[in-house]
Structures are given as C-alpha cells and as structure tokens.
Structure 1
Amino acid sequence: MTKIVVVDNHGQFTHLEDRALRDLGVDSELIDNDTPPEEVDADGVVLSGGPDMDRTGQSAAYLESDMPVLGICLGMQLIAEELGGRVGSGEYGGYADVTVDLLSENDPLTGSLYPETRVWASHADEVKEVPEGFERTASSDVCGVEAMSDTDRDLYGVQWHPEVAHTEEGDEVFENFLEICTDD
C-alpha cells in the first residue's frame, strides 16, 4: 500500500488532508514538522498549510528527499521561497471561493481539472514568482500563481485547499498526487 506522510505546519485544515488521503485508501500519517526526512519511510509527502513561514520546522528538508512533494498553501509558498521563487502578500487577503483557470491539461497534478475548477483558498500570502524549473499551472483573477509544478523533481504546489468541502474537485488533486507517488 502506498504511504504518504502529511507534515503538520500547524494549519487549521491539516487533519483534513490526512483524512482525505485515508479516505482514498492511502496509508497516511500525520507527522510533526520537526521530523527529519531521514526518519520517514514513505512514497510521498504533503507539506500542509499553516499560519507562519517561521514555524515550518524541517519542512524544507523534504524538498531534497527522493519522495514526491505536494505543498498546500503555506507548503507551496515554502517550496517557492526555498528554491528561489518569490512569495509576497496577496492583494485579496483572506479565504474566498475562487474560480481557478488550469493552464495545462497535461500537468500530472492539476491537468485533469482543466479548464477550470472552483476552490477554497487563502490569499493572505501567495507565490509571486515560481522558482527555476517550475511551471505555473493555474491562475485566477485574484492570484497569478494558484498552482505550480516541477515534474522533473516531482515537486508540486497548490495555493488552494483541496481537503475542504468547498473545493469542488479536491479529492481529484489527492488522487493525482497518489498516482504521481505510485509511478515514482
């Protein structure tokens, strides 16, 4: 059975990420963000959302592991910041129901949602510039980078929360990430 760990960055929906994976039949485990990657035996990693970039513990170390990584909200921002992208304050601010435009039907994480989907997202902070090697794979009228992918390194991120009921096709994002993890 495929195992995916959810690295807890203290987000209010982190337990729902773990639950969504378990509901798909994944062996999922919620772990503290101070857990070093070398102590983890898994096929993939979800870097959860959270309130503060200063409270992400060992999360950045997972970017150098050999496991596919999915960053959600703060997790995506951490990926961008650690790998040379740019993160800044969003113009919109808090949580909102947003229509996201998918930019590629070939992206392994979000392509199946093409051409658009409705999501629940926070835009207090957001990725302003993707790191080298990444492709911007989704945008909206409130955020230029709603999702990004580096398929060569199996690093992916979404600004929105696929784990909440307000996101229409959230389970599909987790299903696609599970497929990435089993193909790796």
Structure 2
Amino acid sequence: MTRIVVVDNHGQFTHLEHRALRDMGVETEIIDNTTPAEEIDADGLVLSGGPDIENIGNCADYLDLDVPVLGICLGMQVVADELGGRVGEGEYGGYADVTVEILDDEDPLVGSLAPETRVWASHADEVKEVPEGFARTARSDVCGVEAMADPDRDLYGVQWHPEVAHTEEGEEVFENFRAVCE
C-alpha cells in the first residue's frame, strides 16, 4: 500500500489533507514539521499549508529524501524558496474562489484538470518565480504561478487547496499524486 505522510506546517486544513488521502485508501499520517528527516518512512510527502514561511521546521531537509513531494499553498512556497525560486506577497490577498487555467495537459499532477478548474486558494503570499528545473503548470487572473512541477525530481506544488470542498477537482489532484508515488 502506498504511504503518503502529511507534514504539518500548522495550517488550518492539514487534517483535511490527511482525511482526503485516508479516504482514498492511502496509508497516511500527520507528522509535525520538526520531525527529523531520517525518521520519515514514506512513498511521498505532502507539505501542508500554514501561516508562516519562517516556521517550516525541517521541510528543507524533506526535499532531499528522494520521494515525491506535493507542496500545498505554503508548502509550494517552501519548495520554491528552498530551491532558488522567489516568493512574495500576493496582490489579491486572502481566500477566494478562482478559475485556474492549466498550462500543461501532460503534467502528472494537474494536467488531467485541463483546460481549467475552479479552486479555493489563498493569495496572501505566492510563488513569483519558479526554481530552476520547474515549469509553471497553471495560472489565474490573480496569480501567475498557481501550480508548478519538476517531474524529473517528482516535486510539485499548487497554490490552491485541493483538500477543501470548494475546490472542484481536488480529489483528482490527490489521486494523481498517489499515482506519482506508486
């Protein structure tokens, strides 16, 4: 059975990410972001959202575990920031229902959602430039980088929250990530 661990960056939806995976039949657990990398045994990691990029614990170390990683909201920003991208304040701000345009229908994580999908996202902070090796895979009218991917390293990120009911095809994002982890 595929085991995907959810790293808790102290966001309000972490338990929903865990539940979405569990309901799909994935073996999963929530671990705190201070867990030492060497103690993690997983086929994949979800870096949850959270309130503060200054409080990401050992998330940078988790990127070196050689397992697929899905960063959600703050989790995506952590991936970008740690690997040489740029994160900054969003122009739009708080949570909103957003139409996202999928830019790469071949992308293993979000390609199946093409040509567009409706999502629930926070844009207080967002990725402004993707790191080297990554492609921007989705955009919206309020955010230039709604999703990014580096399939060669199995590193993915979405600005939106696939775990909430307001995101139309959120379960499909988790199903696609499970397929990457298998």
RMSD in angstroms over aligned alpha carbons? 0.4
Equivalence map 1:82-101=2 (5 Å): 82-101=82-101
Partner in structure 1 of residue 148 of structure 2: 148
CA distance in 2, matches of 1:37, 1:114: 35
Q: Which amino acid aligns with 2:177?
A: F
2: CA distance between counterparts of 1:46 and 1:52? 17
Q: How many residues align?
A: 182
**2:52 & 2:160 partners in 1: Cα distance?**
16
Q: Residues of 2 paired with 1:132 and 1:54: CA distance? A: 22
CA distance in 1, matches of 2:128, 2:9: 21
Runs of 4+ in 1 over 6 A off after TM superposition: none
Q: CA deviation at 1:126?
A: 0.2
Deviation, structure 1 residue 30: 0.3
Q: Which residue does the alignment assign to 1:58?
A: 58
Distance 2:94 2:43 in 1: 33
Unaligned runs of 5+ in 1: none
Distance in 1 separating the partners of 2:77 and 2:161: 13
What percent of counterpart residues are identical? 78
Distance 2:60 2:47 in 1: 9
Q: Partner residue of 1:16?
A: 16
SS at the partner of 2:99?
A: strand
Where in structure 2 are there 5+ consecutive unaligned residues? none
| Superposition deviation, residue 36 in structure 1 | 1.5
Residue type at the aligned position of 1:87: V
TM-score, structure 1 length as denominator? Answer: 0.98
Partner of 1:68: 68
Deviates more, 1:92-101 or 1:31-40: 31-40
Matches within 5 A, 1:165-180: 165-180=165-180
